[in-house]
Structure 1
Amino acid sequence: MGSAPRSSPCLSWRGGLCVLFLPFVSSAFAPPAKHRNNFIGTRHAHPRRFDWSHLTPRQLKNRSRGLQTEEPAGRNPCFTLEGHEFLILGGSVHYFRVPRASWRDRLLKLRACGLNTVSTYVPWNLHEPERGTFDFSGNLDLEAFILLAAEVGLWVILRPGPYICSEMDLGGLPSWLLQDPASQLRTTNRSFVNAVNKYFDHLIPRVAPLQYHRGGPIIAVQVENEYGSFYRDKAYMPYLLQALLQRGIGGLLLTADNTEDVTRGHVKGVLASINMKGFKVDSFKHLYKLQ
């Protein structure tokens, strides 16, 4: 409780790693130029087969080593799960945008596409529509959605915000925050921090037991969302990190920013990642400065 964030010993990479959070298909990492010829999926790569049948939420019982980052000698950096090389093939399904009766159908279709991970935002404005009034029922039953993802064989990357963007008004922040003229959104302003703390006190106890190391499907949690494009308070991201850690969030934590903003949006001890609409020659130059 309140301890310094645990960082992976493999985060000080000379190479770069990128997690793509696109609307429907996300994933993976890009190799340094000098290793590109032996990267999986390149034209001259040696064919490799991966058997991940035992690395599913339903099958994997012994859990001592969660999702980690590693850089094998002479190889490209990679994710591992329980020590096995693991490629994240993920897509987004936002439970609050899909009728609950259709959750299983959508998740099964995601699985049928060959994906192994689902990511979802958590909309604060829907879960606390009025100050102090919380709703995690019906179509907003986040726990049920996460457990259903595990049931169909999908891992989960959770993106709790508090700001999520997601093309929602105010980025998913509840509008009643604007009723306080002293509040400064997405900063360590006391009014805003107090509201975030009360929200996290209701949200995090629901999802913390569903993390990988406690037998659940959540393999990673994102800290905020694209703060580098806003960046009004350098103390804000460290505050949010501690707010999650103190409430029991652990394992692999990550940030996500646009390619130009990653140096401002990252926080020490957390894996930095970038959002991309396409690959460019210099897409990773800012990320390489961090890891």
Structure 2
Amino acid sequence: MGPAPFLSQCLSWKRIVGIFFLPFILPGFAPRLKHKEDLIAGRSHLLQSRFNWSHLTPLELKNRSVGLQTKSTGGGKPHFTLEGHKFLIFGGSIHYFRVPREYWRDRLLKLKACGFNTVTTYVPWNLHEPERGRFDFSGNLDLEAFVLMAAEIGLWVILRPGPYICSEIDLGGLPSWLLRDPRLELRTTSKGFIEAVDKYFDHLIPRVIPLQYCRGGPVIAVQVENEYGSFNKDENYMPYLHKTLLQRGIVELLLTSDSETDVLKGHIEGVLATVNLKRFHKAAFNQLYKVQ
């Protein structure tokens, strides 16, 4: 084969000139402000619309008396507050049990670098109690270490302890040994299931108590079960879980989470109801407005 031509059809001198001058040409097509005053006004509006969150981080917020709350003032929209300050939750999920412990810090730092101020995580019952009565909170299942690392990095934590966590995990994160009892009914107040939940929470919740916001920790909210509205087999089940969390010392904001169409069946009186959305649309919050 002969030598390639100095300038091929794919890289002609016209293209070279065009690429070189592109950075100078493009600004000419950008919209320009008519007056200097417009620029100053625009900057002023931008600064007013921003909020400084730097003092609302686990490491900076030392004096604590009021955790995460909801508030609605006059004609304003309802919003969250933290220690009395207006607070916007930017949350993303990292499941500690799905990530090698050696990568926890890397993943949490990346979440923070993306602009998030909160990490949410499930707590898998099936991994923490793989056999009835044998509990494991070590190594990659060290929930406390993960939560404290999040605080060190500057992230708040929303904990989702279940007992059922999500359908993406086998049996929703419930331990398989529950199925050995043919009389036991999952996610209900049947005696066998509730006794197992109580024993599990007796080991789990004491580990969570010191991690709460009021104790100087990063946990600002705890979810009661997960998406029970789509299951809805026992009207007494969610109130029971609500009570058992309170009795064991959970004092931070409690919430439920359901699809937009099932929130009426999954919410609990006195607990913040939330909805999961695949997309925003006009009627997305119609059901939620009926209970909140």
With normalisation by structure 1, the TM-score equals 0.84
User: What letter corresponds to residue 175 of structure 1 in structure 2?
Assistant: S
Indicate the percent of aligned positions where both proteins have the same amino acid: 72
Bigger radius of gyration among the two = 2
For 2:284, give the aligned amino acid: S
Q: Give the AA of the match of 1:263.
A: L
Tell me the equivalent position of 2:209: 208
* Per-residue CA distance 1:107-134 (angstroms, 9 max, x = gap): 0000000100000000000000000010
1:207-228 CA distances to partner (integer Å, 9 max, x unpaired)? 1110001110000000000000
Question: Within 5 A, what are the aligned runs for 1:5-84?
Answer: 48-84=49-85
Question: For the residues of structure 2 that align with 1:51 and 1:133, how far apart are their CA atoms?
Answer: 46
User: Which residue number corresponds to residue 132 of structure 1?
Assistant: 133
Matches within 5 A, 1:155-170: 155-165=156-166, 167-170=168-171
Shift of 1:180: 0.4
The equivalent of 1:191 in structure 2 is 192
Q: Deviations over 1:145-182 (max 9, x none)?
A: 00000000000000000000150010000000000011
> Residue in 2 aligned with 1:145?
146
Q: Secondary structure at the match of 2:73?
A: coil
- Could you tell me which runs of 5 or more consecutive residues in structure 1 were left unpaired when the two chains were aligned: 1-43
Q: Distance in 2 between matches of 1:249 and 1:206?
A: 11
Any idea what SS the aligned residue of 1:139 has?
helix
Give 1:287's aligned amino acid. Answer: L
Three-state SS of the structure 1 residue aligned to 2:70 is strand
**1:32 alignment counterpart:** none
Aligned-pair distance for 1:47? 5.1
CA distance in 2, matches of 1:73, 1:208: 35
- In the alignment, what sits opposite 1:106? 107
Report the equivalent of 1:154. 155
Alignment partners' CA distance in 1, 2:227 and 2:156:
23
1:280 is the counterpart of 2:281: yes
Letter in 1 for 2:113: A
**CA shift for structure 1 position 45:** 9.8
Deviations 1:61-94 (A, max 9, x none): 0101110000022211100001110000010000
User: Deviation per CA, 1:188-219, whole angstroms, max 9, x where unpaired?
Assistant: 00000000000000000001110001110000
Aligned length: 248
Give the Å deviation of 1:49: 1.4
Q: Report the equivalent of 1:268.
A: 269
Greater CA deviation, 276-285 or 46-55?
46-55
Which residue in 2 is equivalent to 1:249?
Answer: 250
The SS at the match of 1:192 is: helix
Mapped to 2, the partners of 1:138 and 1:162 lie a distance apart of 21
Partner of 2:237: 236
**How far does residue 277 in structure 1 lie from its aligned partner after superposition?**
1.0
Runs (5+) with no aligned partner, structure 2: 1-44
SS at match of 1:289: helix
